[in-house]
Structures are given as C-alpha cells and as structure tokens.
Amino acid sequence: GQNIDQPTEMTATEGAIVQINCTYQTSGFNGLFWYQQHAGEAPTFLSYNVLDGLEEKGRFSSFLSRSKGYSYLLLKELQMKDSASYLCAVRDSNYQLIWGAGTKLIIKP
C-alpha cells in the first residue's frame, strides 16, 4: 500500500528553527509537495521537490532524498503566524497526490 508518515504534532519557540520530517512509500514517485494549512482554511502550496537536494525559499527550505524515501521541511526564524498544519504529499505513478495526515506545529512565544 501507499503510505506517508509525518509526526502528528510538534512544538517550537518563536525565533527558533524547526524541522518537520516526512517519509513515504508510494507506487512510483513524480515529486513531493509541502503545503501549509491554517486551522479552518484551505491548504496553500509551500514547496516542490522532484530531484534530490535542498530547495530554499526565504525562511522555508525543503529537502528530498529519493533513495531513502525521505523529505523534510525546515522553517527558520519562526513567527507566531507559522502556527499551522504542514502537509506532505507525494505524486505517485498515476500522477495523483497521496497525502500525509499533516503535522500540527505549535509556536510558543
């Protein structure tokens, strides 16, 4: 079967750095996405990785290792507005997205 694993919840301090991990087992791989979802709102796109390595976009970076079936999202200089759920999704061989359950990130002052 297909499976995306992420921690259920993480807590971090304002101004700090946090790394959210995602491991996956899917039928085929055509890219990995990270989305942010604030409570009661729609998911919004953060990053896309299709090749191994690190993609940096401002305070957010995403890393991919296809051989290990592993990705992480790195958030730097955390702000209170970063409190949200972070969703990992993998595009499989049918070009459909398989989604993890999301990681709820709690930022404390």
Partner 1 sequence: IAGITQAPTSQILAAGRRMTLRCTQDMRHNAMYWYRQDLGLGLRLIHYSNTAGTTGKGEVPDGYSVSRANTDDFPLTLASAVPSQTSVYFCASSPGTSGNEQFFGPGTRLTVL
Note the residues at the interface with partner 1 (CB under 8 A): 4, 30-31, 33, 41-45, 48, 50, 87, 89, 91, 95-102
In angstroms, rounded to a whole number, what is the distance separating the alpha carbons of residues 32 and 70? 10
Which tokens sit at 32?
């990995």
% helix / strand / coil in the chain, to the nearest 5?
Answer: 5, 55, 40
Comparison of 8 and 67: residue with beta carbon closer to partner 1? 8
Minimum CB separation of residue 16 from partner 1 in Å reads 27
Comparison of 18 and 87: residue with beta carbon closer to partner 1? 87
